[in-house]
Amino acid sequence: MEWTSILAIYVLVWVASAFVLLPFGVKTHDELGLEKIHGQADSAPGNFRPGRLVFRATILAMVLTTVYVLNYTHGWITARDMDILGKVTKVTQ
């Protein structure tokens, strides 16, 4: 696998990881006992820390990308292993 492919996969996994991790650890102003600004949504975060989100997404993306690349090179799980309907046929060239 080319390093540019690994980089592209890492970036995609990082963005997905950031979106998955976004709601974890965030509390609203009501939960923290802080005063809200006029017009602020009730669900607006009161303790959003983007640095922590970036760090967690980076670690998670590194782990998931590493597992993906290792699976790609060693072939631990293939399409045939995930075929629950029994319809995957071998592609001949």
Longest CA span, the chain: 67
Helix (H, G, I), strand (E, B) or coil at 86: coil
Report residue 79 as tokens. 């399409």
pLDDT tens readout for residues 19-63 = 999 989 889 888 898 988 899 898 888 888 999 999 999 999 999
Say what angle helices 50-74 and 3-21 make with each other, to 10 degrees. Answer: 140
What is the average pLDDT score of the chain?
90
Please indicate whether residue 90 or residue 36 has the higher confidence score (pLDDT).
36
Parse the chain into domains and list their residue ranges. 3-74
**Cβ 58 vs Cβ 14: under 8 Å:** yes
> Can you give the length of the chain in residues?
93
Q: What is the DSSP letter of 45?
A: B
